[in-house]
Chains A and B, each alone.
Chain A
């Protein structure tokens, strides 16, 4: 069967309008998107793809049972061929994904690309960031070494201090009054079932909105030239993805993933800490009374979600003063200070 007759055969059985489908590929992008920091929207997606592939591979051997979880991680790392590579890619692509998301958010924030009518694109973007943090928290717990066990205990206990519904939330999240066998299977389920489903839905919504609105033009940028999404932009994104994948592989070879001490519920190690991306909230919660910490953290997240509207309100109050940028920069610097402080302490 020749290629053209195969195409005809397929077009008859799957009657999609190919011309229509090709249109988005030719979308014109504003010139400022050629700057490296502006490409980073596609990078988290590429890293997420790495997570999906390596994650599916890991599920072939991981056992979400307190008695066997740590052992299965050891088995993956030491006994399975290239287990160290798969695990390292999964672990470190997650770290890079969070960095890439942060850079993307900083770029969108600084260029105020979230303004009307793109508020919902921003909301879905923040949702994606929060979901990624959820992946990080649940994934860290699954390793079930001493540090991850206690980080889970402490992290989930925090939820118990939420007024009114804290206790119910905690019970629901852990599947019981304390960290128990239900907890691990629950976290595993969140990590490989609930969160990925929500993630894919939010990615689709986010990208759909980006496409429907088109990429926002940069304020005050005199350039009017544009370039096409395909092939130039796609090639740029692909180049970043390939370089990152290469870097991840080299890192895995240079520093294969280690194994901690198996979790021991009767012994709290002296220096328990969450992963670095929770350092700001960890440090903050250590500094202020619990209720203050919980309410301010909730306000911070809500403020992030509602930022496009807050910024618009500030703009109406004091036109041209750019108060939003100052508040955002102060908030970002404060978060950064907390992160560095915790990292150095």
Chain B
């Protein structure tokens, strides 16, 4: 050592320390960069989404004043009929994702069998654990057929 004191045999010199530090940092950076890519691999890219209007159900198959669920490739849709008009919601319970069913009483229209969430005819929460109302879905009737506007996802890589 420069000041002439005896250094312990295992003491690290400044040069060794810096070299180890650099190597350690480079190693950590490299391993970190690879680890981030590993995580990205596990998270699939979001598929492109588009809104499409699809035929959901024949109007005649819903009793007047009643409701039915249409199971479509783009999602489950709850549809209510009032004469020639319809109203539609997502049929996926906003609590934990079960599919609701038509089960009306004085106030209630839709009921979730999983945790007994209850919604009225406008999709508002009447009781039970659901945190939000049912999201509305645009629906029209043309030629006796109910059409709904759904956001569909194409599988990744397919336009």
Interface residues of A (CB under 8 A from B): 150, 153-154, 157-158, 168, 171-172, 175-178, 182, 266-272, 286, 289-290
Contacts and interface: CB of A to CB of B under 8 A. Distances in A.
Contact of A157 (B96, B112, B113, B153): B96
Given A266-B76, A286-B129, A290-B129, A153 B43 contact: no
A172 B42 contact: yes
B44 A272 contact: no
A284 to B, nearest CB: 12
Interface string B99-139: 11100000000001111000000000000010100000000
Given A154-B114, A172-B43, A272-B113, A267 B99 contact: yes
Contact of A150 (B44, B46, B98, B131): B98
A176 B44 CA distance: 7
A178 B153 CA distance: 11
Contacts of B113: 268-272
A272 B99 contact: no
Interface string B69-100: 10100001000000000000000000111111
B98 A153 contact: yes
Given A172-B42, A176-B44, A266-B71, A286 B97 contact: no
Contacts of A177: 46, 153
Contacts of B69: 266
A344 to B, nearest CB: 17
Interface residues of B, number: 21
A55 B140 CA distance: 52
Nearest to B101: A268
A141 to B, nearest CB: 14
15 contacts: A150-B114, A154-B96, A154-B114, A157-B96, A158-B96, A168-B43, A172-B42, A175-B43, A175-B44, A176-B44, A266-B99, A268-B98, A268-B100, A269-B113, A289-B129
Contacts of B129: 286, 289-290
A153 B97 contact: yes
Nearest to B72: A266
Contact of B115 (A153, A172, A267, A286): A286
B101 to A, nearest CB: 8
Please list the 6 inter-chain residue pairs (A to B) with the smallest Cβ-Cβ separation, ordered nearest first.
A266-B71, A268-B98, A157-B96, A270-B113, A154-B96, A157-B97
A267 B101 CA distance: 9
Contacts of B101: 268
A334 B100 CA distance: 32
Contacts of A154: 96-98, 114
A145 to B, nearest CB: 16
Nearest to A293: B129
B43 A171 contact: yes
B150 to A, nearest CB: 14
Most B Cβ at <10 Å: residue of A158, A171, A182, A266: A266
Contacts of B71: 266
A272 B98 contact: yes
Contacts of A271: 113
Nearest to A154: B96
A178 B152 CA distance: 13
Contacts of B100: 268
Contacts of A168: 43
